[in-house]
Structure 1
């Protein structure tokens, strides 16, 4: 298998895409062999550009080619069943947390602190905080990480790095205690930690996106 992902600032290392991070974490959790191939917008293979609009992450397994992180993960779960990452509660938790990244991206793309955008992000963090109060474990659904954690973890990785970089004087007041505790737990689990990329890549990506 080959996984095409966004390249880092040097054009060769793995870039700061949380959706590719999610796919790589699932591959890691399932114990699958996969060659990760970073690509810039200028050196994507012709078949990826012409037939799949250049979308990454893109998984190529023989003649099977799949784009979109959620579709790739569904393919992996259905094709490699020895280790199942998803549990019964994952879909309801994924629904609960689906608003987090859009709210985070809207807030972080604004160069100046925007109270209205922060309130929207804080509302999403509140949902996570309340869920963790009743989750019964250190992770979203169980005592061990499942699909929902591997989906949310890479996005929280971006949150942790960017808040500390762009709002160092406010970061301790911004995160509810249960969210902070969960974030440290999920970012330390091997599928997330061992598929992470340097914080500098995250900072560079969001610096370019801020306006």
Structure 2
């Protein structure tokens, strides 16, 4: 006897059982300021899926959590009992498994969008992290929004043939 599993990874009309483990805030209970934890939270929330959130105080990490994902720090998820720990792979997994028509597609429609975003993020990260003003000259010009130089806005004004 074979069971058919729909494309979105859940059997029949049942919702998947998802638990998101995130870093706790300074009080040990509220959701912390980890951008990776917040990103996974937003993905699940925007998908419209029901999920539980467990905050993990890294100072007092419970033993059962160490058994669940040994050597791993939050964020991570359990999806129908299976532990997933790599944030990038979790994002890809959620996009593949929680797919239309039941769940919203969150991925970019055009690959150029991802490239533009990664380029801006890389340049901005280098600009923020660099402590040497001389080395920041190229990136500073890139992020100056004065009228003669609107480089970040160039991504917004590019016309693509497929739009």
TM-score, length of structure 2 as denominator length: 0.63
The counterpart of 1:71, out of the listed 72, 83, 89, is: 89
How far is the alpha carbon of 1:4 from its aligned partner?
1.1
Structure 1: tracts of 5 or more residues without a match: 137-141, 143-211
Structure 2 unaligned regions, length at least 5: 1-17, 145-149
Equivalent pairs, count: 133
| Distance in 1, Cα, partners of 2:89 & 2:49 | 17
Going from structure 1 to structure 2, the CA distance change for 1:55 and 1:87 (only over 3 Å counts) comes to same
Greater RCO (Cα-Cα under 8 Å, separation 6 or more): 1
**Residue of structure 1 in register with 2:157 after alignment:** 133
- Please report how far the alpha carbon of residue 46 of structure 1 lies from its aligned counterpart in structure 2 after TM superposition: 0.7
Runs of 4 or more, structure 1, over 6 Å off, are none
Specify which structure has the higher proportion of helix. 1
CA RMSD after TM alignment: 3.2
SS at match of 2:36: helix
Q: Which has the larger radius of gyration?
A: 2
> Pick from 47, 55, 64: which aligns with 1:30?
47
SS in 2 for 1:94: helix
Name the residue aligned to 1:182.
Answer: none
Match of 1:7 in 2: 24
